[in-house]
Amino acid sequence: MYLTPITWKRSVILSLFVIVSLFVTSGGSSIYALENSNAVTQIPIQADTYVNAGSLANTNYGTDPMLQVRTWSSDPNYTRESYMKFDLSSYSGEVGSVTLNVYAAVINTNGSPLAFQLYGVEDDTWTENRVTWNEKPVMDHYLANVNVGLTWKWIQVDVTSFVKAQLASDQVASFGLTQAAKSGALIHINSKENAVNQPYLSLSHRRVDPSAPRWPSDASVVIENLGENGLDLKWSETQSPGNTDNYQIYQNGKSIATVTSDTYHIPIQDLDIGSTYTFKIEAGNSQNKWSHDGPYVTVNVPKTELKQMKIGNVFNENEPIQFKVATLLPSVTWSVYDMQGAKMSEGTEFNDRGNAIINVPYSKRGYFKLRATAGSSDQQTSVPLETSFAVLSPYDFTAVADSPFGMATHLHRGQTNTIPIIQQAGVKSVRDGIEWHAIEKAKGVYTFNPVPDNYMAKLKEQGIDMLFVSGYNNPFYDNNGTPYTDQGREGFANYAEAYVDYYKDQLIAMEAYNEFHGSFGKRGNSPANSRPDYYFNLLKKTYETVKASHPEFPVYGIVASEDAVSWIEEVFKLGGLQYMDAVTLHPYRYPSEPEGLTESLDQIKALIRQYNNGQDKPIWITEFGYPTHNAANGVDEIIQANYLVRYYVSAISSGVEKIYWYDMVNDGLRKDYNEDNFGLLRNAADPFGAFTPKPAYTAYAAMTRELTGWQFHEEESLESDLKSYLFMDGGQNNKRVVWSLEPASAVIKTNQPVEITDMMGNTRTYVPTNGNIYVTLTGEPIYIKGNIQAINKDAMFTVSGGGALSGEPVTFQVEMNNTTAEVLDFTLEVEDQSYALNAGPGQTKLQSVVVNGLDEPGTRIVKGVLKAGGQVVGLLQYVAAVESSETVQIRPVFNGTEPLSQSIKVQIRNHSKFNALPVHRIDWQLGTLSGHQEVNQVLQPDSTGTFDIALQNVELGKSLSSDVKVAYGNNKTYVYKGNIDFNPVYSGTLNVDGNPDPLIVVKAPTIDLSKGNVKVNGYQGADDLSGSVWLNYDNDNFYLTAKIKDNIHAYPATDVNMWNSDSIQFAISNGLPGEDPNYYEYGISQTSAGSQIYRWMAPVGVEKGLVTNGEVRVARDEAQKLTTYELALPWSELAPIMTESGVFNFSLLVNDNDGNQRRGFIEWGGGIGDGKAPSKFRSMQWIQE
């Protein structure tokens, strides 16, 4: 047969993952079905359930009498799939034919098709009382399209080939039922819980057509020659080749070819990337008799992508470090870089039937990045790939009885498969819990299956305990609000007691509610309103109820930020300390350094002693973290790792018994939103791969290995900025955790060798020379094990240098200052280079060191080993901030004078002092407009280019989706993807007196709240809350005028809490939304202390708090139910925002309080009240007069 080149529906690189089913029998002999037996065996169903997407993705339906199948893409809450499982072990005969029998009907015809697709499922480990949408098994092999009628009836489906394969393997057959549709009909099927007409399998010795060709029991179909030029199917012959004339090839149940050979090259025309196809071969003879039990193979057609060989790419150093690249491209080149940015290894692998396996040689422990490129043979196509991985030392944490190292988790969010790498990190207890409403689904009935039973069982397997955090509300009590009545508090306490009773062997303690002092304490319309007296009553009832049944079980309270000091004290005053066995706190300090923790904890300890008869109580920190989001209060990934260790050590030194990082896994993918970036592992949908580590994960794992079993002894007194915390192991061994608040040259005084372990867990022995070991201390903690006399600052070796740009080398200087009376001779080894450092008495030696830089902005850490006489005597370090070598800015601007024209300006700055920067082209889309502009210009070093895209009649005040791509440099592309607005802001000066200036408000408002997002409970329309806002500016100030219609004016709060009153909050930053993380967030409100301005968010170095350098007036016209706000804010309070920049981004909300509590807000833009995310702001333009 002629083999034609393979063609694909889409011209992108594909990768095929192959699942091959082999029919194997013991001894390898051929086995046939008995032709003369008509006996049929019925096998009842063992397990079945359906699963539901959307908000019910964690709900189990294993006891439902009906299975359901439907796909409704516009609303996942209406999408259901079903699963069935059959135990085949009772069947002892040979298999001729197998039929699946189901009793089914279409229930809702509002959709099409009236059918479902049946799949074979290889994973039989699922259980009907636990499986949910979030943890459902994969549907592997397409078996049939099954049409269903409008009336109930039995439906038979031939499943012979799949059941034969399962009999030959584990004797269990699982099936999946799904629907390929956008808006499908709802299908019901009787389940095994139904009283009648339950699903069953019919197995017969007799083949469907006894005169058709026979397949041997080891028949197979395999993929051969899988590559960029094609795909071959090859299958074994039938047992009776003389009775076989043709083979028919089926693709997902449809015949696509009839051939005479046993090899077929498929010119696949219609395969979709990301889809899965099952190819099945059937044999026929000259009498047109065809088999029904032929072999099959299932092929997945994804894009070229990295596949994990271990969950999260977390490896122990004694196991293979492997990655799979699924691809049709012939080769994959790769490189590995450590956390410092140094290249560790590289190589090239070749495609073997759709996969290239990368084997990374072990070099050291730590955090690493793998960068790979899959390429075509003609070098015309390349696909870049990137992921991160961690290499840890082996450690048996199951043998550890207890430790202070905990972790906050959200295991119910499809994260149960992270539990092994949570344990591998050294976590001994997690903080988790399922909310009240999801446990008490029927009043007085508490359900723990399937969630949290599913993850509690896995935690137990890994030897991990749990701290149970309880919360929050339940629709059966107090109108589904925060508990505020005796009945509500009793219901909450009973839920907590039921939880403790059910899992008492796995729980180490429980927390009575979570952050009652914040928004969790004001859920619904509850009058509890976060008040300390309402918390006290809830705490007391919960404590007494749990203790009545479990008197020894620890119940903890407060569960609040340590800066809520006045709230905490009020709870203590009411006697709250009598109803808690420990105080738990959430001392978030980001982005500030951790070392201030001790002082804030001392304040809480003093309050405990004051209200506890001079006695202490244990303190646990059950939430803290440093998010890596792109905002002024975020940190980068390396700083997150540094601060994690420093915080744990600081907390332990302050007597905190257990500390829980928040949290294990990033909650989402928004780069500028704090809640999506706290994790030590990346989100399941992250481009780097599901649950891949950040550097902080490896730092946590190294810390637990270094400090588990060691007891804190003291914080040592050192020179300014130097930190040293001494730990003892119960014997004579000691270990210090050491760092410096600023880079410092230092010396370790000792007469014995010491071991120094870096933050990634790599240990090296250092030998003193003349009683000295020389080190550069930085913000990265190190562990020093051994007997030492002192750690002092020392100038023998100093390291200095400037910044660096991406794509260029990093250069720094090492200066040796010989203050001794002897000639000193050292060698400095830096990565693959060696430098001689020698100087006579009183002399200095300056050595320049050049190392490879980074391809992207980041932190380049360079570590050099200092040697003398062949022995390692020091560790020198340099930390370089690598900035981008180019800056691309997109600016939607107005041009000229009225009537203003509009354009998008693309400005590119080449920061390099040495290299020219070619700019190739710009592709853009704005709303329904789009275009392409060839540039083909070269920017000389240290120069700027501006390219203008003219626009026609873009609507004002409307957010338009945009996608701007700028191609430049060596295969670089800058992409801006987000919303762009044209909102002109004109010059104008306000007289801030509480009366709107006529010349200002006569013009159209800048912001109309009727176009905002209403998030007010029980909103009654414009008379309830509405209004307009005008923005203006002059050389001295930024101005805001607002006229707010509000039926009730209330302002009970002041200062930092003014957002709980009728008030306005706004955020502002330079450039497009999300471009500059250094944004401001301000509030203005009438308060009991008068009109106030408050600053919640600011760039680094700008103080937060009340602002007195500005004018604000809030005036109320009660007859008109109108509140007027006027603000003049000097530009010095908004630096570096300037009107000359042309473009800024802005968001605003108006809070509503009708006297009892904050009801909510109306937000224009976003990223303030709905979660701090500057990418949700909207772009505006300063109109120059």
Q: Which pLDDT does position 239 carry in this prediction?
A: 87
**What pLDDT is recorded for position 120?**
98
Cα separations (Å) of 136 from 177, 412, 775? Answer: 12, 14, 53
Is the pLDDT assigned to residue 269 strictly greater than 60?
A: no
Does pLDDT of 29 surpass 50? no
Q: In the predicted model, what is the mean pLDDT of residues 762-767? A: 98
Q: Per the domain annotation, does 765 fall within a domain?
A: yes
Same-domain check for residues 434 and 350: no
Question: How confident is the model at residue 8, as a pLDDT?
Answer: 34
Q: What is the pLDDT of residue 15?
A: 33
Q: Which of 286, 301, 316 delimits the end of a domain? A: 301
Provide mean pLDDT across the span 841-846. 96
Predicted confidence band of residue 393 (pLDDT cuts 50, 70, 90) = very high
**What confidence score (pLDDT) does residue 12 get?**
28
Domain of residue 97, CATH code: 2.60.120
- Give the mean pLDDT of 769-781: 97
1091 and 1027 share a domain? yes
Residues 156 and 258 in one domain: no
Rounded average pLDDT over 925-940: 95
User: Are residues 170 and 242 part of one domain?
Assistant: no
Nearest to 354 by CA among 310, 298, 304, 308: 304
Give a yes or no: residue 7 inside a domain.
no
**Cβ partners under 8 Å of residue 432, min gap 6:** 408, 409, 410, 411, 412, 452, 455, 466, 467, 468, 469
Please say which residue of 252, 285, 301 terminates a domain: 301
Res 396 pLDDT > 60: yes
Stretch 354-366: mean pLDDT = 95
Is the confidence at residue 525, as pLDDT, over 90?
no
Q: What is the pLDDT of residues 34-81, one digit of tens each?
A: 334 568 999 999 999 999 999 899 889 999 999 999 999 999 999 999
Q: Are 801 and 830 in contact (CB under 8 A)?
A: no
Same domain, 262 and 245: yes
| Phi/psi of residue 312, nearest 5 degrees | 70, 5
Helix (H, G, I), strand (E, B) or coil at 960: strand
CB 1060 within 8 A of CB 1153: yes
- In this structure, the answer to whether residues 583 and 540 fall within a common structural domain is yes
Instruction: Say if residue 1029's pLDDT is above 70.
Output: yes
HEC letters along 1073-1112? CCCCCCCEEEEEEEECCEEEEEEEECCCCCCCEECCCCEE
Rounded to an integer, the average pLDDT of 506-530 is: 95
Q: Which residues pair with 963 in a beta bridge?
A: 925, 977
The answer to whether residues 966 and 1007 belong to one domain is no
809: in domain: yes
- Banded model confidence at residue 267, pLDDT cuts 50, 70, 90: low
The CATH number of the domain holding residue 265 is 2.60.40.10
Residue 878 located in a structural domain: no
| Containing structural domain, residue 332 | 305-392
Rounded mean pLDDT, 307-326: 97
Q: DSSP class of residue 1157? A: S
Top pLDDT among 924 and 896 is at 924
Residue 1 lies in a domain: no
Please report whether residue 877 resides in a domain: no
Are 1159 and 1117 in the same domain?
A: yes
**What is the pLDDT at residue 266?**
67
- Indicate which CATH number applies to the domain containing 662: 3.20.20.80
879 occurs within a structural domain: no
Would 579 be classed as within a structural domain?
A: yes
- Mean per-residue pLDDT for 978-1005? 94
Secondary structure of residue 741 in the 3-state scheme: coil
Is residue 650 predicted with pLDDT exceeding 90?
yes
Residues 965 and 1050 in one domain: no
Quote the CA–CA distance of 104 and 115 in Å, as a whole number: 10
Q: What is the pLDDT of residue 271?
A: 62
pLDDT tens figures, 438-481: 999 999 999 999 899 999 999 999 999 999 999 999 999 999 99
Query: Which H or E element spans position 46?
Result: none
Rounded CA-CA distance 1153/1160 in Å is: 8
pLDDT of residue 22: 29
Answer yes or no: do 564 and 683 share one domain. Answer: yes
Positive or negative CA dihedral for 536, 542, 547, 548?
positive
Contact 1143, 1179 (CB under 8 A): yes
CATH number of the domain within which 1151 lies? 2.60.40.1190
Please state, rounded to an integer, the average pLDDT across all residues of the chain: 93
| pLDDT tens figures, 1048-1107 | 999 999 999 999 999 999 999 999 998 998 999 999 999 999 999 999 999 988 999 999
Structural domain tally of the chain? 7
Percent composition of the chain: helix, strand, coil (DSSP 3-state, to 5) = 15, 40, 45
Judge if 227 and 105 occupy the same domain: no
Q: Please report which confidence band the pLDDT of residue 5 belongs to, taking 50, 70 and 90 as the band edges.
A: very low
pLDDT at 225: 72
**Domain endpoint, select from 301, 319, 334:** 301
Q: Report the CATH number that the domain containing residue 348 is assigned in CATH.
A: 2.60.40.2550
For residue range 477-514, what is the model confidence (pLDDT) as tens digits?
Answer: 999 999 999 999 999 999 999 999 999 999 999 999 99
Nearest C-alpha neighbor of 766 from the set 775, 778, 753, 779: 753
pLDDT for 9? 31
Q: How confident is the model at residue 28 (pLDDT cuts 50, 70, 90)?
A: very low
Q: Looking at residue 233, what is its pLDDT?
A: 86
- Check residue 300 and give its pLDDT: 78
Q: Based on the domain organization, do 682 and 734 belong to the same domain? A: no
